[in-house]
Every structure is written in structure tokens, then in C-alpha cells.
Structure 1
């Protein structure tokens, strides 16, 4: 076997990594759809309540819903971009593991910050009434 011919083991390992990248992207799609759906549901409920009761006190809750939609939308874009980068990385002949930042960590921090803002906003709103 010449040095230019890739080994079967190497090619099978690349295929396993590609399949793992596909499963990871599908998991991100499910997560992002859940975030977007939850945010959309919260926004629709707030919009309906504001129409029925003409109450502007639900503004913070609406921002919370829109924040979840924004986080989900940004995360799906970043997941697709990261997936594309991973596929390109696997294609190279000298494929090596590269440590990089975690998209899951970034999304977790975004949801944490959104949750803190929602918590503080609700506490301030309820103590003011």
C-alpha cells in the first residue's frame, strides 16, 4: 500500500466522526426548536393577555419569550456553522483533534443570563405592585 492511499481504518474513523457530527447537529436542531417554540408560546400568551386585559405589566415576560426565540435562532445558526467547520476539518488528510470552545456552554450561559434577568424583573415587578 502506498503512502498516498488512505487506510481503511482512517476512512472508517472519519466516517464515524462525520456521523457523530450529524447526530450532534440533529440534537442542536431539536434543542433550538424547543427554545424557539417555548419563546413563541410565551409571546403568544402574553400578546393574548395584553389584548384581553389591556395590561402593559407583562412587558418583561414578553421580552423573556423573545429572548428564548433569539437564543434559539442564534444557536441554530452557530450549530450549522460549527457543523460545516467540523465536516471540513474531517476531510483534511492530516485530521487531528483541536480543542475549541463549546457551543453548548455558550447557549447555557445565554439561558442562565436570560433567566437571571427574568427572575430579577419579576421580583422587581412583584415588589412594586
Structure 2
């Protein structure tokens, strides 16, 4: 056996936790899909609002624009945060120091409630 064969058979720290790393990657990709969906919903609401020119109101215009801008911003922030969490989880898995993100889940729940209220206000105003 030469040195290359020995190096190829050595296990890395990452290879000890293959299932956890693959699950982490699937979660990251799910967050990316979610971010794209958030951005898409913002564009959809904005485009639908401005194609209904006969029923436009000044407050509805502002709310539709706000929903579009906030959706794009939230989508971008979601991508950035998911990438940061992905990298952090890689280290936590390898060091066996992973802790569930309780504060993040509470924040996400509150944020979803706020977004739902904004969408509800938009559809009530139209």
C-alpha cells in the first residue's frame, strides 16, 4: 500500500457523522426553497395588486409595495441566516455540542404571526 491508499482509507471527522451532515444539508436546502417561496409570494401579491388597477387604493398600494419589499428582504435574510446556521451546525455536529435552536423557533413563530397579520390587513383593505 502506498501513501495515497492509506490517506484514502482514513476517516475524517465529518465521516463519523455522515447521517447528521446529510440531514443538515437537506435542512439547509429546505430553507433555501422556503426563501425562494417567500420572495415569490411577495412578487405575486405585488403583481396581482397592480394588475387590478380598477380597485387600487392609496393604502392598498403602500401595503402591496411593503409586502413585496419585505418579502424580498426576508427571503435574502433567510438565505444568509440559513447559510450561517448550516456552517455552525457542521461544527456543532463534529464537536458533539449541538443544541436545538429554541430561540430561533420562537422568533420564527412570532415572525410568521406578524406576516399573517400584514397579509390579513392587505386582503381586508382591498
TM-score of the alignment, normalized to the shorter chain, above 0.5: yes
TM-score (norm: length of structure 2): 0.68
Residue in structure 1 matched with residue 87 of structure 2 by the alignment: 84
User: What secondary structure sits across from 2:102 in the alignment?
Assistant: coil
2:68 is matched with 65
Provide the TM-score with structure 1 as the length reference: 0.67
Contact 2:35 2:75 in 1 (8 A): yes
Asked if the contact 1:71–1:111 (Cα under 8 Å) also holds between the matched residues in 2, the reply is: no
What whole-Å deviation, never above 9, does each CA across 1:29-52 have from its counterpart, x for those lacking one?
Answer: 1111111111112122333445x7
Distance 1:96 1:55 in 2: 53
Higher RCO, 1 vs 2 (CA within 8 Å, ≥6 residues apart): 2
Q: Indicate if the aligned counterparts of 2:20 and 2:93 stay in contact, CA closer than 8 A.
A: yes
Shift in CA distance, 66/13, structure 1 to aligned 2, threshold 3 Å: same
Q: How does 1:21-100 map to 2 (within 5 A)?
A: 21-50=24-53, 55-59=57-61, 60-92=63-95, 95-100=96-101
Partner of 2:8: none
Task: Check if 1:116 corresponds to 2:117.
Answer: yes
Q: Which has the higher helix share?
A: 2
Q: Which runs of 5+ in 1 are unaligned?
A: 1-7
Contact kept, 8 Å, 2:89 with 2:98, in 1: the verdict is no
Residues 113 and 53 (structure 1 numbering): CA distance in 2 closer, same or farther, change over 3 Å?
closer
RMSD: 2.9
